[in-house]
Protein backbone atom coordinates (compact mmCIF):
# COMPACT_ATOMS: atom_id res chain seq x y z
CA UNK A 1 0.00 0.00 0.00
CA UNK A 2 1.36 3.40 -1.01
CA UNK A 3 1.31 5.71 2.02
CA UNK A 4 0.65 9.43 1.68
CA UNK A 5 1.19 12.06 4.35
CA UNK A 6 -1.20 14.99 3.93
CA UNK A 7 0.49 17.69 5.95
CA UNK A 8 -1.82 19.92 8.00
CA UNK A 9 -1.26 23.12 9.93
CA UNK A 10 -3.48 25.79 11.44
CA UNK A 11 -5.55 27.11 8.53
CA UNK A 12 -5.32 24.11 6.18
CA UNK A 13 -8.77 23.52 4.70
CA UNK A 14 -8.35 21.21 1.70
CA UNK A 15 -6.72 18.36 3.59
CA UNK A 16 -9.78 16.10 3.69
CA UNK A 17 -10.38 16.51 -0.06
CA UNK A 18 -6.72 15.69 -0.76
CA UNK A 19 -6.89 12.57 1.39
CA UNK A 20 -10.10 11.54 -0.40
CA UNK A 21 -8.42 11.91 -3.79
CA UNK A 22 -5.44 9.73 -2.84
CA UNK A 23 -7.60 7.13 -1.11
CA UNK A 24 -9.84 6.92 -4.18
CA UNK A 25 -6.93 5.83 -6.39
CA UNK A 26 -5.74 3.13 -4.02
CA UNK A 27 -3.33 4.86 -1.67
CA UNK A 28 -3.60 5.16 2.10
CA UNK A 29 -3.47 8.82 3.13
CA UNK A 30 -2.97 10.09 6.68
CA UNK A 31 -3.84 13.59 7.85
CA UNK A 32 -0.83 14.62 9.92
CA UNK A 33 -0.35 17.92 11.73
CA UNK A 34 3.05 19.58 11.26
CA UNK A 35 3.65 19.43 15.04
CA UNK A 36 3.71 15.63 14.91
CA UNK A 37 6.56 15.73 12.39
CA UNK A 38 8.43 18.36 14.38
CA UNK A 39 8.12 16.33 17.60
CA UNK A 40 9.29 13.13 15.92
CA UNK A 41 6.00 11.39 16.71
CA UNK A 42 5.58 10.75 12.95
CA UNK A 43 8.47 10.02 10.57
CA UNK A 44 8.40 11.41 7.03
CA UNK A 45 10.51 8.46 5.92
CA UNK A 46 7.57 6.11 6.57
CA UNK A 47 5.70 7.58 3.58
CA UNK A 48 6.15 7.57 -0.20
CA UNK A 49 4.24 10.78 -1.02
CA UNK A 50 4.11 14.13 0.79
CA UNK A 51 1.13 16.33 -0.05
CA UNK A 52 0.74 19.89 1.21
CA UNK A 53 -2.89 20.88 0.58
CA UNK A 54 -4.58 24.20 0.00
CA UNK A 55 -5.87 26.58 2.61
CA UNK A 56 -4.54 29.56 4.53
CA UNK A 57 -1.85 28.18 6.81
CA UNK A 58 -1.34 30.38 9.85
CA UNK A 59 -3.79 32.83 8.31
CA UNK A 60 -1.24 33.83 5.63
CA UNK A 61 -0.45 36.56 8.19
CA UNK A 62 3.18 37.10 7.13
CA UNK A 63 2.68 36.14 3.49
CA UNK A 64 0.92 33.22 1.90
CA UNK A 65 2.48 29.94 3.11
CA UNK A 66 5.58 31.62 4.55
CA UNK A 67 5.31 30.41 8.15
CA UNK A 68 4.80 26.76 7.23
CA UNK A 69 7.57 27.14 4.63
CA UNK A 70 9.95 28.37 7.34
CA UNK A 71 9.05 25.45 9.61
CA UNK A 72 9.91 23.08 6.77
CA UNK A 73 13.03 24.96 5.68
CA UNK A 74 14.58 25.36 9.10
CA UNK A 75 13.27 22.36 11.05
CA UNK A 76 12.68 19.59 8.51
CA UNK A 77 15.32 20.30 5.84
CA UNK A 78 17.36 17.16 6.47
CA UNK A 79 14.32 14.88 6.49
CA UNK A 80 12.92 16.46 3.31
CA UNK A 81 16.23 16.27 1.47
CA UNK A 82 16.50 12.58 2.36
CA UNK A 83 12.87 12.07 1.31
CA UNK A 84 13.56 13.54 -2.12
CA UNK A 85 16.91 11.80 -2.53
CA UNK A 86 15.21 8.44 -1.98
CA UNK A 87 13.03 8.94 -5.06
CA UNK A 88 9.77 9.89 -3.37
CA UNK A 89 7.13 12.43 -4.45
CA UNK A 90 6.01 15.84 -3.22
CA UNK A 91 2.79 17.62 -4.22
CA UNK A 92 1.81 21.16 -3.22
CA UNK A 93 -1.59 22.56 -4.13
CA UNK A 94 -2.46 26.27 -3.90
CA UNK A 95 -1.19 27.23 -0.44
CA UNK A 96 0.95 24.11 -0.68
CA UNK A 97 2.52 25.46 -3.89
CA UNK A 98 3.25 28.73 -2.09
CA UNK A 99 4.91 26.70 0.68
CA UNK A 100 7.06 24.73 -1.76
CA UNK A 101 8.51 27.77 -3.52
CA UNK A 102 9.15 29.63 -0.26
CA UNK A 103 10.74 26.62 1.43
CA UNK A 104 13.17 25.93 -1.42
CA UNK A 105 11.55 22.80 -2.87
CA UNK A 106 10.76 24.47 -6.20
CA UNK A 107 11.93 25.19 -8.88
CA UNK A 108 14.60 22.79 -7.60
CA UNK A 109 15.05 21.03 -4.28
CA UNK A 110 17.62 23.17 -2.49
CA UNK A 111 16.50 24.35 0.92
CA UNK A 112 19.65 26.44 1.37
CA UNK A 113 19.10 28.41 -1.85
CA UNK A 114 17.55 31.87 -2.11
CA UNK A 115 13.99 31.92 -3.48
CA UNK A 116 13.93 31.94 -7.29
CA UNK A 117 10.18 32.28 -7.91
CA UNK A 118 7.20 33.48 -5.95
CA UNK A 119 3.42 33.66 -5.98
CA UNK A 120 2.19 37.17 -5.36
CA UNK A 121 -1.03 39.18 -5.37
CA UNK A 122 -3.41 38.71 -8.30
CA UNK A 123 -3.43 41.48 -10.89
CA UNK A 124 -7.19 41.81 -10.33
CA UNK A 125 -6.52 42.93 -6.75
CA UNK A 126 -9.08 40.49 -5.40
CA UNK A 127 -9.60 36.90 -4.36
CA UNK A 128 -10.27 34.80 -7.49
CA UNK A 129 -12.70 31.92 -7.06
CA UNK A 130 -13.52 30.42 -10.48
CA UNK A 131 -12.95 27.44 -12.76
CA UNK A 132 -10.09 27.60 -15.26
CA UNK A 133 -8.73 25.60 -18.18
CA UNK A 134 -5.14 24.40 -17.99
CA UNK A 135 -2.85 23.25 -20.77
CA UNK A 136 -0.81 20.22 -19.68
CA UNK A 137 2.66 20.51 -21.22
CA UNK A 138 5.21 17.85 -22.03
CA UNK A 139 7.46 17.65 -18.99
CA UNK A 140 9.30 15.19 -16.73
CA UNK A 141 6.46 15.53 -14.20
CA UNK A 142 5.41 12.19 -12.72
CA UNK A 143 1.95 13.49 -11.82
CA UNK A 144 0.95 14.23 -15.44
CA UNK A 145 2.36 11.20 -17.29
CA UNK A 146 -1.13 10.08 -18.27
CA UNK A 147 -3.25 13.19 -18.33
CA UNK A 148 -5.55 14.99 -20.75
CA UNK A 149 -4.08 17.80 -22.85
CA UNK A 150 -6.45 20.34 -21.30
CA UNK A 151 -7.96 19.95 -17.83
CA UNK A 152 -10.55 21.94 -15.92
CA UNK A 153 -9.87 22.81 -12.27
CA UNK A 154 -11.09 25.52 -9.88
CA UNK A 155 -8.86 28.20 -8.42
CA UNK A 156 -9.39 29.97 -5.10
CA UNK A 157 -6.60 32.37 -4.18
CA UNK A 158 -5.60 36.00 -3.67
CA UNK A 159 -1.85 35.42 -4.17
CA UNK A 160 -1.54 33.17 -7.20
CA UNK A 161 0.43 35.27 -9.68
CA UNK A 162 3.54 33.29 -10.62
CA UNK A 163 6.62 35.50 -10.98
CA UNK A 164 10.23 34.33 -11.56
CA UNK A 165 13.13 36.25 -10.05
CA UNK A 166 14.47 37.19 -13.48
CA UNK A 167 14.51 36.16 -17.14
CA UNK A 168 17.31 33.67 -16.52
CA UNK A 169 15.15 31.72 -14.06
CA UNK A 170 12.25 31.80 -16.53
CA UNK A 171 14.50 30.51 -19.30
CA UNK A 172 15.71 27.65 -17.10
CA UNK A 173 12.11 26.62 -16.48
CA UNK A 174 11.55 26.55 -20.23
CA UNK A 175 14.79 24.74 -21.03
CA UNK A 176 14.08 22.04 -18.43
CA UNK A 177 10.41 21.67 -19.45
CA UNK A 178 9.39 22.50 -15.88
CA UNK A 179 6.32 24.56 -16.85
CA UNK A 180 3.83 21.74 -16.28
CA UNK A 181 0.55 23.71 -16.34
CA UNK A 182 -0.34 26.94 -18.11
CA UNK A 183 -3.65 28.76 -18.06
CA UNK A 184 -5.44 28.59 -21.40
CA UNK A 185 -8.87 28.85 -22.99
CA UNK A 186 -11.22 25.94 -23.62
CA UNK A 187 -9.82 25.69 -27.14
CA UNK A 188 -6.18 26.01 -26.13
CA UNK A 189 -5.76 29.65 -27.14
CA UNK A 190 -3.66 32.28 -25.34
CA UNK A 191 -5.66 33.45 -22.31
CA UNK A 192 -6.48 36.86 -20.93
CA UNK A 193 -8.31 37.59 -17.69
CA UNK A 194 -10.31 35.78 -16.40
CA UNK A 195 -8.90 32.70 -18.18
CA UNK A 196 -5.59 33.67 -16.62
CA UNK A 197 -7.11 34.60 -13.26
CA UNK A 198 -4.07 36.19 -11.65
CA UNK A 199 -1.74 37.56 -14.33
CA UNK A 200 0.93 34.87 -13.97
CA UNK A 201 4.01 35.36 -16.13
CA UNK A 202 3.80 33.13 -19.23
CA UNK A 203 0.39 31.99 -17.90
CA UNK A 204 2.20 29.57 -15.55
CA UNK A 205 -0.16 27.70 -13.24
CA UNK A 206 2.17 24.94 -12.01
CA UNK A 207 5.78 23.80 -12.20
CA UNK A 208 7.83 20.74 -11.30
CA UNK A 209 11.45 20.30 -10.28
CA UNK A 210 13.91 18.94 -12.89
CA UNK A 211 13.38 15.38 -11.62
CA UNK A 212 9.62 15.63 -12.14
CA UNK A 213 8.98 14.30 -8.65
CA UNK A 214 8.03 17.60 -7.01
CA UNK A 215 4.94 19.37 -8.36
CA UNK A 216 3.31 22.60 -7.29
CA UNK A 217 0.19 24.14 -8.83
CA UNK A 218 -2.27 26.86 -7.88
CA UNK A 219 -5.50 25.27 -9.22
CA UNK A 220 -7.17 22.52 -7.19
CA UNK A 221 -7.23 19.04 -8.78
CA UNK A 222 -8.63 17.59 -5.54
CA UNK A 223 -11.80 19.62 -6.12
CA UNK A 224 -12.52 17.88 -9.42
CA UNK A 225 -12.44 14.20 -8.48
CA UNK A 226 -16.05 13.09 -8.79
CA UNK A 227 -17.86 13.90 -12.08
CA UNK A 228 -20.51 15.82 -10.15
CA UNK A 229 -17.81 18.29 -9.03
CA UNK A 230 -17.95 19.76 -12.55
CA UNK A 231 -20.09 22.94 -12.40
CA UNK A 232 -21.94 22.04 -15.63
CA UNK A 233 -22.39 18.31 -15.23
CA UNK A 234 -26.18 18.59 -15.45
CA UNK A 235 -25.88 20.27 -18.87
CA UNK A 236 -22.92 18.41 -20.31
CA UNK A 237 -23.59 14.99 -18.80
CA UNK A 238 -21.47 13.00 -16.40
CA UNK A 239 -17.90 12.18 -17.37
CA UNK A 240 -16.36 8.88 -16.31
CA UNK A 241 -14.30 10.70 -13.68
CA UNK A 242 -13.17 14.19 -12.74
CA UNK A 243 -10.10 15.68 -14.43
CA UNK A 244 -8.17 15.71 -11.16
CA UNK A 245 -8.16 11.95 -10.65
CA UNK A 246 -5.27 11.33 -13.04
CA UNK A 247 -2.94 13.61 -11.05
CA UNK A 248 -3.29 11.42 -7.97
CA UNK A 249 -3.46 8.12 -9.86
CA UNK A 250 -0.20 8.86 -11.69
CA UNK A 251 1.53 9.51 -8.37
CA UNK A 252 0.40 6.17 -6.95
CA UNK A 253 1.21 4.27 -10.16
CA UNK A 254 4.74 5.70 -10.11
CA UNK A 255 5.52 3.35 -7.23
CA UNK A 256 3.67 0.37 -8.66
Examine the residue annotation and report whether 157 is marked as an active-site residue of this protein.
Answer: no
Strand, helix or coil at 174? helix
The one catalytic residue in 14, 147, 159, 220 is: 220
Residue 238 CB partners (closer than 8 Å, separation 6+): 227, 228
Examine the residue annotation and report whether 220 is marked as an active-site residue of this protein.
Answer: yes
Residue 246 CB partners (closer than 8 Å, separation 6+): 144, 146, 147, 148
Span between the terminal Cα atoms of the chain, in Å: 9
CA distance 63 to 51: 20
Examine the residue annotation and report whether 138 is marked as an active-site residue of this protein.
Answer: no
The residues that bridge with 155 in the sheet, in sequence order, are 130
The one catalytic residue in 94, 141, 147, 208 is: 94
CA distance 211 to 90: 11
The one catalytic residue in 157, 222, 224, 230 is: 222
CA distance 224 to 85: 31
Strand, helix or coil at 78? helix
CA distance 196 to 133: 9
Catalytically active residues are: 94, 220, 222
Amino acid sequence: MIKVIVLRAAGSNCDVETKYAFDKVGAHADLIHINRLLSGDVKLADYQILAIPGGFTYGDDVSAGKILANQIKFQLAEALQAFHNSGKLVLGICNGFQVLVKAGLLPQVDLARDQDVTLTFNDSGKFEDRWVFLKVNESPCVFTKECKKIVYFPVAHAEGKFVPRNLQVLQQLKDNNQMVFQYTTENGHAPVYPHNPNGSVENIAGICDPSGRVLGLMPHPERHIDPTNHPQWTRLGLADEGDGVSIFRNAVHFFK
